[in-house]
Chains A and B, each alone.
Chain A
Amino acid sequence: MSESASAAAIGFARRWLLPRSVLSGMLCVLAAFAIGALLIAAIGRDPVLAYLSLFEASLGSTNGLAETAIRTVPLAFCGIGIALAFRAGVFNVGAEGQLFIGGVAAAWMGLQLGGQPQWLVLPAMALAAAVAGAGWSAIAGVLKLKFRADELITTIMLNYIAIYFVGYLLHGPLQDPGSPLARTARLAAEARLPMLLEGTRLHAGLLLVVVVAIVAQVFLWRSVAGFRLRAVGHNARAAENTGMNVKAALWTGFLICGALSGLAGFSEVAGVQRRMIENLSPGFGYTAIIVALLGQTNPLGVLAAAVLFAALQIGSTTMESAAGVPSALTTVIQALVVLLLIGQNALPRLFRRRAVTGS
């Protein structure tokens, strides 16, 4: 075997199997787990037992894997949406609210179309969720583009407003007539996503999100609109000077994030809860921000990051009961992953500066 062939093989591995961004992400994840282990040891618990019980619960059985896959779906939907928005330079952190609005829209559509065939009901629900989520995100878009109100603050405020608004709907107009609880009536069988694996709760939303991730990856790197998105996010003024429509790119960022987060709500309603409930999300939209960053805002990377964070979340309650480590540790680990990643990305710049000032 010649040297050039082996070099090509290494090049192939670097490029397609383990690009530097993946390696650095893995390194940060490992480091975050190490710091987490210190935190566990500091409170007199056993880190090995804690992590073993965590991953045993999330990856060690068919059911655990299925639960992890179920949890991956909303995280990946929201994460990909957030990643594309970040690419456009839009700090849309409103996925949580867009998910709730999408979920309630999907449930409403599903209840309206009760009795219709499944091929009609499910796409209609998904469409309603995507449109409603995008519409909710568009509020922040209008506020940003017409009033120059910072989307970071407006989207967070819109999250609170969305959750209370959905709470109102579930206590009022959309409440299940036969129940005192704040939830809609149960969806008919036609309005539920098909199950994928006998004996588990795994639903077809997983297939949907994998397709979305692939399409988003192609869109971002192989389409004109994706190129414009990246160019505007990288340097809006330069993009404008070359004649690109900056506003269109920003709108794309807002609307895609809203639509995909809405689909997260749809898949939770149609695949998991089978109705709209008040606590549809334990903060998927916020965790997804971290997922998007860990995935280096690459849709396929985001999907992989979503699997990891889903496993963390699924295993956290078992870790709490088996090893006595509070489940909030997983939130700490998630935040540490991002902080390490940001720090790592900044290091070359730091050393270059040192070198310059040192000379």
Chain B
Amino acid sequence: MEWLADPVLAGFIAASVRLSIPILLAALGGMFAEKSGVLNIGLEGMMLIGCFTGFITVHFSGNLWLGAGVAVLIGAIAGLGLAFYAVTLRSNQVVVGIAFNLLMLGVSAYFFRLAFGSGTASPRITPFAPIDFGPLGQIPILGPLLFQHDPLTYLSLALVLGGWLVMQRSTIGLSIKAVGEHPEAAETLGLDPIAIRYAAVAVSGALAGLGGAFLSISATGVFLDNMTAGRGYIALAILILGRRHPFGVLVAALLFGAAEALQLRAQLLPSGVPLQFLIMLPYVLTIVVLAVSATRSGAPAALGQPYEKGGG
């Protein structure tokens, strides 16, 4: 049973958790939006703007939690912007999402250049450090899985639990689902579909923003152009695989974290597999996951359909 305590395995497990957090948070956010009937293609851009604003806040204030807070706030504001288009203007949600992602890509690159110039030396911050749980961290499997992480990781896992409570065990969750399944019926029950969708998309932006910030202020300590590299789109696939359920999303995100951790480790080993094929792994996995799970997705009935008060 020596392999249980193997440092390579422990490192792999810890990395799987760490790498799953950004897509976990984004997918959790996507869940709120989609359950309310709004397709949030803008998750990618909201992650990126959170990644950038979190980084720059920490860089200039030195306060990691302030950075996380700003990322959440900016993400939520971006969510409100998308909701204005998707809910009020009733525009095509896919097109709006794509345009938002491009806008965030441009805005983050623009202000990053402005703050730091286009020199080659990229600025660094000191990211969140893991909490020291003493001997608990040394327990085989469970140690790296649960007791070797930084505060933001534990906050993220708490948010999954919170998301479950809200979605499955509260009237708020019931209202969101009602609006996503049948907004007309929800309105006759006295709910306001417009307001609920706005709130749900804002929450999704806040969570995606935090997920993006995790990349810069927890995982690496740097910011790079287009740092999210498609993770917002992967989160949309995670959402389908996890059946839009908080715990399903958690398991699906861990699977992707493991795939990414595996490819990062395989790069260091003389496996004979070309590097590029290893880097592809999470993207290929996304496609496979979509292909096997999309046909039984159980999406909300009114997903992607704008709602018009008083009937259209």
Contacts and interface: CB of A to CB of B under 8 A. Distances in A.
Interface stretch (A160-168, A214-222, A236-244): A160-168
B279 A329 contact: no
Interface stretch (A17-25, A249-257, A335-343): A335-343
B102 A346 contact: no
A342 B274 contact: no
B286 A157 contact: yes
B230 interface: yes
A327 B109 CA distance: 9
Given A335-B103, A339-B99, A339-B103, A345 B308 contact: no
B287 A143 contact: yes
B110 to A, nearest CB: 4
Contacts of B92: 342
A336 B105 CA distance: 12
Contact of A160 (B105, B110, B280): B280
A104 to B, nearest CB: 13
B274 A329 contact: no
Contacts of B113: 326-328
Interface string A317-359: 0001000001111111111101100110111011001001100
Interface in A284-343: 286, 289-290, 293, 320, 326-336, 338-339, 342-343
Interface string B82-125: 00010011111011101110110111011001100010000000
A168 B279 CA distance: 11
A172 B90 CA distance: 49
B277 interface: yes
A16 interface: no
Contact of A150 (B109, B230, B294): B294
Nearest to A142: B291
Contacts of A333: 106
The winner among A160, A338, A356 for most chain B CB atoms within 10 A is A160
B106 A329 contact: yes
A167 B275 CA distance: 9
B236 interface: yes
Given A148-B294, A332-B107, A161 B284 contact: yes
Nearest to A160: B283
Contact of A286 (B90, B102, B103, B233): B102
B277 to A, nearest CB: 7
Nearest to B286: A157
Contacts of A122: none
Kindly state the interface size class of chain B when it binds its partner. 35 or more
Contacts, number: 141
Contacts of B276: 164-165, 167-168, 171
Interface in A28-48: 39, 43
**Chain A, interface SS category:** helix
A357 B194 CA distance: 15
Nearest to B110: A328
B235 to A, nearest CB: 10
Contacts of A331: 102, 105-106, 109-110
A302 to B, nearest CB: 15
A156 interface: yes
A232 interface: no
A150 B289 CA distance: 11
B287 A290 contact: no
Contacts of A293: 95, 99
B99 A335 contact: yes
Interface string B259-292: 0000000000000001111011001101100111
B34 to A, nearest CB: 12
A342 B96 contact: yes
Interface in B203-237: 229-230, 233-234, 236-237
Nearest to A353: B308
B114 A290 contact: no
A306 to B, nearest CB: 16
Given A150-B290, A335-B102, A336-B103, A157 B91 contact: no
A342 B92 CA distance: 8
A141 B276 CA distance: 24
Nearest to A326: B113
A109 interface: no
Contact of B309 (A91, A286, A357): A357
Contacts of A39: 110
A345 B309 contact: no
Contacts of A160: 229-230, 280, 283
A343 B280 CA distance: 37
A210 B114 CA distance: 38
Contacts of B290: 143, 147, 149-150, 153-154
Nearest to B308: A353
B141 to A, nearest CB: 31
Given A342-B96, A343-B85, A357-B310, 9 more contacts: A160-B230, A160-B283, A164-B279, A171-B274, A286-B102, A329-B106, A329-B110, A331-B106, A346-B90
What are the 9 closest A-B residue pairs judged by CB atoms, nearest first?
Answer: A331-B106, A335-B103, A328-B109, A326-B113, A346-B89, A332-B106, A168-B276, A149-B290, A335-B102
21 contacts: A39-B110, A143-B290, A143-B291, A147-B295, A149-B287, A149-B291, A156-B233, A157-B233, A157-B283, A157-B287, A161-B287, A165-B280, A168-B274, A289-B98, A290-B102, A326-B114, A328-B107, A338-B99, A338-B102, A342-B89, A346-B91
